[in-house]
Chains A and B, each alone.
Chain A
Amino acid sequence: MLKYIIKRLLLGVVVIFVVATFTFFLAHAIPGGPFTQDKILPEAVMHNLNERYNLNAPLYKQYIDYMVNIAKLDFGPSFRYQTDTVNDIIARGFPVSATVGGLSLIVAIALGIPAGIIAALKQGKWQDNASKVMTTLFISIPGFVFASLLMYIFAYKLRWLPAALWGAPNQAILPVLALSAYPLAFIAKLMRTSTLEVLNNDYIRTARAKGMTRMKVIYVHALKNALLSVTTILGPMIANIFVGSLVVEKIFAIPGLGQHLTQAITNRDYTMIMGVTVFYAMILTVCVLVVDIVYVFIDPRIKIEGSR
């Protein structure tokens, strides 16, 4: 068990190291450097600019400095915002993004699990078909289509909810719904398959034969085992919510980290893109790591070699 956890931790560190290295060399592969513009800057200004962003040192030295800073969770200054460092912007944007993302995950789990179970129990009936149509649509429709549809109907036509911005609780409803569509469909689909699978097991038949009611069997046995399979996909779901949040934050003008990343891309703010990317890689790696480790503890069927 401990060996597995250490192995996963090491892999996580390697992942972050690789992403950071890739980011660093990619940013340095940009021809002409970051300050090349139409207006040619005087030699001295250029030198000072390079000095401020540590671009005068030899490449290997820059690389080491950069990696040491990242290990200290310092993502450096921003090219465009003179007063803000990348850390300031992450500190401002990440809580917002995490709120939207976390709420979406909760909504997806809270609605997806019952939807999947109902579909499995009513296999072949209208509930099953309705859930099948819903999952197919939610998986096939891109996030921005769904988001703009929600915005058009609920904000512009019905005028029930605000169209954009962030702060009041009712401003979170539409973005959270838009963001949870895909994970919701995915969880429902997976939950349906795994519930059907679990219900076919011998121990379910035994439980029924002993006289347990159908609902009790579902609660006590089926649900617990089917839930485990949902745990396995939480990691990829978190990654998916991250990608979705870029689009959703842009549409609903939410001042989250995704919005800052999109802006940094438009502004060609290289240090910001690099910093936010590495930060995202870290967060996602940690999330997946936590999910994987938790999974080992809650699934009694897992026996990792060396843990006996």
Chain B
Amino acid sequence: MDEQNVNKTAVTELSFKPLHKDPSEINKLIRPSVSFWQDAWYRLRKNKLGMLGIFIVLFMILFGIIAPIVMDRVFHVTYSDQTLAYAYSKPGQNGYLFGADNLGRDVLVRLAYGARISLAVGIAASLVALGIGVVYGTISGYYGGRVDTLMMRVVDIIDSVPSMLYVILLMTVLPRGLTSVFFVIGATSWLSMARLVRGEVLSLKEREFILAAKISGVKTWGIMLRHLIPNAMGPILVSMTMGIPSAIFLESNLSFLGLGISAPMASWGSMASEGIEALRNYPHMIFFPALFISLTILGFNFLGDALRDALDPRMRK
């Protein structure tokens, strides 16, 4: 199918060599064939913004993992430490690299825990969305007809109202905590994934290889799991990467409004919410969480754009 197309883009000068005269040699592959994923990786590597995105994302992950350990072992500052006397310390003052907040807690350590929470929310919520969206979209697209119309109408109805409204409603009822945030954001952001998968499945199911699979007696579930979903993996992966920043965005907005992660846990949104109260005199309290959220979302967006270019050659211009 796309194999030939894909190979063309990876061709370099080295691939051009005079062929042997011997006719039996003509059909022999001179270079090892490049798989779809190898080729995608090759294209991704050439995308500077995409690599910057990967770098930012990896930095945030490492920061979330390593920073608290280093702060604990080397500087003996932990998450639960607070020195009220040093409240509102400016960056660099009293040994706080990024300053201290209104309760005398180290901003750097809280930022690192915020990174853990924001990234966990982003990834978990997009996994929940992936699960619901892929199952829903595959069923809707594969069965088609009335089932499809009904299922897509349901998506349209849910999608007519911004997910923030559902999130607010659900968060007021559910117990506060990380699990609720995962669930609620995931449960409200699967719609675009479902639409995408449905579209892919609709076109894929008409292909010959699906017909071949049906004729050779593969069961419906087998066709969905072995043939339809793997072939839609490229767009699904792109959509997942794009879903992570929106989940982080939503979580930070929620925490900012006081609906997300509850105190004393720190998320970038709740830190910014505390920071804005002290904006006039202690801007460092909001500066760092704001910078980290923006960088992370920017990084994921770059990565998502680059992945789309790398995985979907048809979309390239």
Q: What is A's interface to B at a CB cutoff of 8 Å?
A: 11-12, 14-15, 18-19, 22-23, 26-27, 29-30, 136-137, 139-145, 148-149, 151-152, 156, 163, 239-240, 242-243, 246-247, 250-251, 261-262, 265-266, 268, 270, 273-274, 277, 280-281, 284-285, 288
Contacts and interface: CB of A to CB of B under 8 A. Distances in A.
Interface in B264-302: 269, 272-273, 275-276, 279-280, 283, 286, 290, 293-294, 297-298, 301
B286 A265 contact: no
Contacts of B178: none
A56 to B, nearest CB: 21
28 contacts: A11-B156, A15-B160, A15-B161, A30-B173, A140-B294, A141-B297, A142-B253, A142-B293, A144-B253, A144-B256, A144-B273, A148-B286, A148-B290, A151-B279, A152-B283, A242-B164, A243-B253, A250-B257, A262-B257, A265-B257, A266-B258, A273-B168, A273-B169, A277-B165, A280-B165, A281-B160, A284-B160, A288-B160
Contacts of A15: 157, 160-161
List the 7 closest A-B pairs by CB distance, nearest first: A145-B290, A239-B162, A140-B298, A15-B160, A243-B164, A140-B297, A141-B294
Contacts of B156: 11
Given A140-B245, A145-B294, A251-B276, A29 B160 contact: no
Interface of B: 156-158, 160-162, 164-166, 168-173, 245, 249, 252-253, 256-259, 269, 272-273, 275-276, 279-280, 283, 286, 290, 293-294, 297-298, 301
Contacts of A288: 160
B60 to A, nearest CB: 14
A270 B257 CA distance: 17
Contact of A142 (B158, B252, B259): B252
Q: Taking chain A's interface residues, is the majority helix, strand, or loop, or is none over half, making it mixed?
A: helix
Contacts of A250: 256-257
B161 A261 contact: no
Given A141-B294, A145-B272, A262-B257, A26 B170 contact: yes
Q: Taking chain B's interface residues, is the majority helix, strand, or loop, or is none over half, making it mixed?
A: helix
A17 to B, nearest CB: 9
A27 B174 CA distance: 10
B283 to A, nearest CB: 6
B301 A285 contact: no
A242 B162 contact: yes
Nearest to A274: B169
B279 A152 contact: yes
Contacts of B275: 148
Nearest to A139: B301
Nearest to B166: A22
A143 B253 contact: yes
Given A240-B162, A242-B162, A284-B162, A277 B157 contact: no
A247 B272 CA distance: 12
A23 B272 CA distance: 30
B173 A18 contact: no
Contacts of B259: 265
Nearest to B295: A140
B131 to A, nearest CB: 21
Nearest to B301: A140
A279 to B, nearest CB: 10
Given A11-B156, A142-B253, A270 B161 contact: no
B173 A29 contact: yes
A148 B283 CA distance: 9
Contacts of A242: 162, 164
A210 B283 CA distance: 60
B169 A144 contact: no
B172 A145 contact: no
Nearest to A14: B157
B279 A156 contact: yes
Contacts of A139: 301
Contacts of B279: 148, 151-152, 156
Contacts of B166: 22
B168 A265 contact: yes
Nearest to A28: B173
Contacts of A265: 168, 171-172, 257-259
A105 B210 CA distance: 47
Given A148-B290, A265-B172, A11 B253 contact: no
B252 A270 contact: no
Contacts of B173: 26-27, 29-30
Contact of A277 (B168, B252, B273, B297): B168
B172 A19 contact: no
Best-buried of B162, B170, B171, B259 by chain A (most CB within 10 Å): B162
B272 A284 contact: no
